[in-house]
Structure 1
């Protein structure tokens, strides 16, 4: 309503907003770019330090590892993942929640198996925990506290173990940070000691980055430090038993190098610390008099990756697949959290399978298997299979993004490519291990078609910096593997055209690498050729005619805002739903939820809207979305911020009885005696009234010293006002107030938009109009009357609340000089409404201040309107 929602967001300085944009862009692009640089440096260092090592020597060491060592490494891995469950168990205990140990163990194991193998631990493990714990009945705040507890335990344990080890054990001078060993050790040891000291002395919440954290008890702090240290100690033990005997004598020196390497890998943000961890380990042991052991060390590191990362990932995959099979047999077991977890789960596995194919194509095939293959497979077929297996691997990396976006085409192509990849793996070198992995994933993916329901084009899927980094990292590692595996082969131009069973490994790897690189370059080129920024094409009568049936059948009367004509309309196929939106700066702001009854069409429209924004380099925002539709935005990975509450009056309980309604009752009775009456003018009668109503509107605007707003409310426009009925208050034969009325055919909700009155009109005229409208709507059989939103109401200012909530609560309580937030809430509250939260959905990592400034600019008709009435 015009006089109530003129400014729904605090004003933001344009210079500060632009600065926030630059910082956000730098943070978004700088992190992946730095990780890519560190990965390249690590691969270069590995190549330099292992210059005398051949791929066959490394593979030979792995094959000669004793079964007892491998079995002990597996046992230690199991113990390590069992200890990881204590993170969640004690985290739940810290917030006073208890879950069955079996469920906690399942949640912890699956989250850590995926995050350890794929990297991006906070994102992956946090999202998996969110899906599981929501199903278990935990609130978002409780889940956030558990994730914070586990993250702090993880780092406290690493800091304690690393600091103590560096204090007690010297490290070689060639290891990174060796010159700062003592200062670094002291700092790291002080971190857990300070945390423990806090638990003994402080009882107030502590500020940790963006969160306020309750000070732990001494027992809780000790648990965090000890569990984290034990976790890292067991991880070190897995690698220690796989190391060659020549350097296995001193666990202290080994542990010092291990923890430094792990910390370097974590700081680099390279997925799984791939390359960085190996480079530091090789540098550390190569500098301790272990020259000549580079091949065994690299072999033990490869075995460690298989045992500690890949094996748990395979077990977690089997567990989720088993859960999927059970769900197929018992449909009732399929729950929303599981349905939303499966697409990113299959995307992650597809990414792993693509990497396996690329790494396999970059290395030498096992000679014995090639000899067997020579007896019944023609050489041309082997060459083609080797080349195509790498192409399939790169395509799987790219299609993984489509699976995450739930694209039907990505599902079909991935299924086909997994089968082809398994066949090519057998034909190029009898790699039955790869073929088995690909076949198992294809079998698991086959019955999951219903989770990939989107019919959008594959070419519309955009790639985030994280995805580009993951694909680039795999390609970079594959390139390094090619040159490392065949460093003994002298390069010549004829090498590209050499075909042989026994001496064709290097040519095949080079050709396969070129094929994979060509695929990724073509996809990158297709993504660079983006459509131009769309022109503002406001809807005409044809678009309004398409939208009107959806508006009338929608359960929210606010869908009538599409008729204002100041927002573009995006329709779903078959006109089964639409989104109204406008563009300000980089922000594509949708007003409200998608309008329509078809839930699948609404869900697909949210995906389409986001993809269109990303292709144009914009930010998708959904403003004033309702609680019942939050899953639409969580499904596409958007974040939700509460921006206020909407007041809705339940009409079957509305009356003017009781002491609390005495003032309203008196106002209505007095104005009725003075001759005021309300009339609902149908649409066909509105045009004739508009000249008289225009005079009221102009007088109201002059008196209030305001100008027309837009976007989230209407304006005095004859074409718009002629599309809705009009409530007019008459005093005798003269109109003194009016409001255009939003009504739906479903009788679910009625509301108003533009409300204006003569400044010299009777006191209480707006109360009179509201009450008469509610009485009329109740008589007509409507269930609810919507009074509109009270911005920033209902936000919490507690220490544990998010930063945005605390800021909004502060503005709500102290921002009266800018906008009457409290007064608006009090005014609506006297009608005894039910308050329902409203949110804004935003993608993660955007410059939030600028996005909010763009929304305010849209509502106010420009940045100048944000600071002027």
Structure 2
């Protein structure tokens, strides 16, 4: 046990180090890119860049928008071909929606766009019937398509128009990209030949991968090349063309800068892409026009789709609210609502960055002069300062929106509204105000998605998000010192207040933004830290026992076994019980307590798992609660059905109950009786019950289970009444009872009988408990699970469902799953599905192994019944 614990801690530490290293690498590359960019543009003045902005004509902007739209359409064809590859069908509008949302999200994040868009695809395509495995195949297909386009177009560009790379890159003296281009084209040719001649699946990391048909492979190359050409054209049309710059040369330069930006893992390749483009385009075009074109391209191709995605989701949320639909509806509304927090968080982050960079740049002279005539100078100064503070606040709050915190939602609304006002009062930046207003509308329309009432400072704040905030902050500071590098920085500059005093305003606003960041970091650093307890204390068990007595859900009684840890709500009126095996953090059932607090507990548990690098898993979840877990981005798979008998209708009359009636009458005539022993009377019976239990275990050649099944423990059994079967005073069988609050439900857990007990003894016990429970006013009798029941074998069903259905029908040599369902069916129960909820990915086999080991008490328990 100790070795397993130490191994788990060591693995968690390694995962934490990995999660920290990636953001640090991205931050380092960004700072290096900024240093390079600073050296390149050091001799330019901001006035030159501003003038270059005005030279970009409206037709150029329209062409850039048009080519950007064509690029996003081409990206949707990636997914369209991928659906053909997996031999499934989906209407093109749904594919287009998924593709647009995924790339609008992924293009502004720090990973490869194909990989980062996987979250969106999992949620939307999963909601439209695809399994996790099929979504993974689509992602793999799209990733291959992306690189095929890069290799093919890059190969032709490097061969036909070999690039003269600048000496600042410090490459070997006679380095040529032509051999690289030939290698790229050879790789594409090998892929096509493989698709033509290899018909059997390839085994890649234990997964069978079928190569696409040659026609489909050619389609991959064609659409990916078109996509890259459209992206290149979107930026190319923004550049001045007074100097000759062949489009083929530009394509090669763009591809090099694009891949460098993607590999850097910096959000959107910010800084890395721009530095390389300015550096490599220097022989053709002056720096200021290139910088202006890059900034406009960044706004049109990256920020504009992100804003449109946020508005689209916000509009859908608003329509859903006005239509009177529930918070998590089915169909398109349900699956898109899962994406709202992600998109809104990223859009809010972008809004904060806009405010921060706007506070760095000098205001437009003519606008500021007009504003100075109607607005007092102190208002202008304060608006500029608080605009940057609001921007930093939005960068931080975006992390809370991602986790659906209502506090982050309301504060973001306030800061966005304030940002609109500050943008207008500090320099009449109406373009900025329009962007913020659009984000405000989108966020306001999505109110129902932000419902978690918990402290913002108690939530985990990832190293990646900290790095992204620091990148934006450091980028705005660098930009400010670059713009005002000709000003003399003296102490009196801090206290200079003038209408055109842009440099002092920049300094004061930067101090305000940094102060907000430092204050947040200090609060996070000194917040109380409470690691999860390894075992419940006596005080916790006492609290749980009181909550169990108030719960109508009898599964809550499993908490009193003492083999699980607890996570309590802030009010201590709700809890969930969990155990850790390997990386699987498995919760037994749903949280116990009020629904609102249960929702919050699930989120806190997810955060706890993230902190320790664990997989959040929820076992035996009911269908009515699935939406709660889908909100977390988790998947669900059916693992069986649970039977409950409505006691008001239970009777032994009728031809269908002939067998049960015979057993009950026979054992009653033979002198068998069932007594319900109250909690107070259980203690004296424990030695006799222990003897019955030991005989049962020995006869079955098995050992005690746990987690989801009770085991013989005197402390545990002393919490419950017990049903005992006797004949002439001798105990032959017993079962402990779980009584639910308000007589809602009655259930049994531990069922043991002597080997010499007559046939039908458990039927007799069940019947008597149900009859007596009905007399006591209980509404339901819970029969427990029928594992794998209700799973159907279909060609399009997920792999687990097909395996489960096969085992259910043909696995009687290992465990009689079908017989268990048939045994319980004779009591006429109502069957309700039960699910296992788990993270997206390929963890399911490991999770099942961990769960089985946890229930069975190790490998020995797995191998014995």
1:113 has 2:110 as partner:
no
> For 1:739, which of 732, 735, 738 is the aligned residue?
735
Distance in 2 (alpha carbons) for counterparts of 1:623 and 1:544: 19
5 Å-filtered alignment, 1:672-711, equals 680-698=676-694, 710-711=706-707
Deviations 1:211-252 (A, max 9, x none): 543331222222122111111111011111112214553111
Q: SS of the residue aligned with 2:245?
A: coil
**Superposed displacement of residue 392, structure 1:** 0.5
> For 2:629, which of 610, 630, 633 is the aligned residue?
633
**Superposed displacement of residue 691, structure 1:** 2.2
Q: SS of the residue aligned with 1:245?
A: coil
Aligned to 2:251: 255
Is the 1:171–1:257 contact (alpha carbons within 8 Å) kept by the matching residues of 2? yes
Aligned to 2:588: 591
Deviations 1:316-341 (A, max 9, x none): 34433443443344334973334433
**Superposed displacement of residue 197, structure 1:** 2.7
Distance in 2 (alpha carbons) for counterparts of 1:212 and 1:410: 44
> For 2:58, which of 49, 56, 67 is the aligned residue?
67
- 112-121 or 480-489: which moved more? 112-121
CA gap of 1:233–1:15, structure 2 versus 1, over 3 A, is farther
Deviations 1:565-610 (A, max 9, x none): 45455455777643224578997653221124x5433222212344
**Superposed displacement of residue 256, structure 1:** 0.8
> For 2:373, which of 372, 375, 378 is the aligned residue?
375
5 Å-filtered alignment, 1:249-648, equals 249-286=245-282, 289-290=283-284, 293-332=286-325, 335-502=333-500, 504-534=501-531, 536-539=536-539, 543-544=543-544, 546-551=546-551, 553-554=552-553, 557-572=554-569, 577-581=574-578, 589-596=586-593, 598-611=594-607, 620-638=616-634, 645=640, 648=643
- 169-178 or 470-479: which moved more? 169-178
**Superposed displacement of residue 708, structure 1:** 5.8
Aligned to 1:169: 161
Deviations 1:164-213 (A, max 9, x none): 32233322344588847355435533444343333322333334557543
Give the number of aligned pairs. Answer: 838
Deviations 1:390-443 (A, max 9, x none): 110010111112222222222221111112111211222221111222223223
Distance in 1 (alpha carbons) for counterparts of 2:668 and 2:183: 77
CA gap of 1:406–1:15, structure 2 versus 1, over 3 A, is closer
1:24 has 2:15 as partner:
yes
Aligned to 1:49: 40
**Superposed displacement of residue 720, structure 1:** 2.4
Aligned to 2:184: 188
Is the 1:794–1:837 contact (alpha carbons within 8 Å) kept by the matching residues of 2? no
**Superposed displacement of residue 744, structure 1:** 3.8
> For 1:79, which of 64, 70, 85 is the aligned residue?
70
Is the 1:12–1:853 contact (alpha carbons within 8 Å) kept by the matching residues of 2? no
TM-score between the two structures when normalised by the length of structure 1: 0.83
- 131-140 or 598-607: which moved more? 131-140
Distance in 2 (alpha carbons) for counterparts of 1:650 and 1:307: 61
Distance in 1 (alpha carbons) for counterparts of 2:73 and 2:612: 46
> For 1:721, which of 700, 714, 717 is the aligned residue?
717
CA gap of 1:480–1:854, structure 2 versus 1, over 3 A, is farther
> For 2:195, which of 187, 199, 214 is the aligned residue?
199
CA gap of 1:861–1:102, structure 2 versus 1, over 3 A, is closer
CA gap of 1:394–1:376, structure 2 versus 1, over 3 A, is same
Distance in 1 (alpha carbons) for counterparts of 2:514 and 2:842: 29
Aligned to 1:89: 80
5 Å-filtered alignment, 1:143-154, equals 143-154=135-146
Q: SS of the residue aligned with 1:462?
A: coil
Is the 1:709–1:859 contact (alpha carbons within 8 Å) kept by the matching residues of 2? yes
CA gap of 1:138–1:641, structure 2 versus 1, over 3 A, is closer
Is the 1:386–1:424 contact (alpha carbons within 8 Å) kept by the matching residues of 2? yes
Distance in 2 (alpha carbons) for counterparts of 1:847 and 1:526: 38
Is the 2:387–2:423 contact (alpha carbons within 8 Å) kept by the matching residues of 1? yes
Deviations 1:583-639 (A, max 9, x none): 78997653221124x543322221234446667887755344345433322312345
Aligned to 2:150: 158
**Superposed displacement of residue 793, structure 1:** 12
Deviations 1:356-401 (A, max 9, x none): 0011112222222222233233333322222211110010111112
CA gap of 1:99–1:654, structure 2 versus 1, over 3 A, is farther
Is the 1:460–1:615 contact (alpha carbons within 8 Å) kept by the matching residues of 2? no
- 820-829 or 274-283: which moved more? 820-829
TM-score between the two structures when normalised by the length of structure 2: 0.83
Is the 1:537–1:568 contact (alpha carbons within 8 Å) kept by the matching residues of 2? no
CA gap of 1:667–1:321, structure 2 versus 1, over 3 A, is closer
Is the 1:207–1:213 contact (alpha carbons within 8 Å) kept by the matching residues of 2? yes
Distance in 2 (alpha carbons) for counterparts of 1:100 and 1:629: 29
CA gap of 1:769–1:865, structure 2 versus 1, over 3 A, is closer
Distance in 1 (alpha carbons) for counterparts of 2:582 and 2:429: 53
- 678-687 or 608-617: which moved more? 608-617
Deviations 1:491-548 (A, max 9, x none): 444433333333x322222222222122112212222223233555344675245413
**Superposed displacement of residue 464, structure 1:** 2.1
Q: What is the alpha-carbon root mean square deviation over aligned residues? A: 4.6
- 684-693 or 94-103: which moved more? 94-103
Q: SS of the residue aligned with 2:339?
A: helix
- 740-749 or 625-634: which moved more? 740-749
Is the 2:589–2:620 contact (alpha carbons within 8 Å) kept by the matching residues of 1? yes
Structure 1 residues without counterparts, runs of 5 or longer:
1-6
5 Å-filtered alignment, 1:661-676, equals none
- 569-578 or 447-456: which moved more? 569-578
Distance in 1 (alpha carbons) for counterparts of 2:726 and 2:763: 14
Distance in 2 (alpha carbons) for counterparts of 1:522 and 1:63: 40
CA gap of 1:180–1:784, structure 2 versus 1, over 3 A, is farther
1:126 has 2:118 as partner:
yes
Distance in 2 (alpha carbons) for counterparts of 1:828 and 1:160: 59
CA gap of 1:518–1:789, structure 2 versus 1, over 3 A, is farther
> For 2:217, which of 216, 221, 225 is the aligned residue?
221
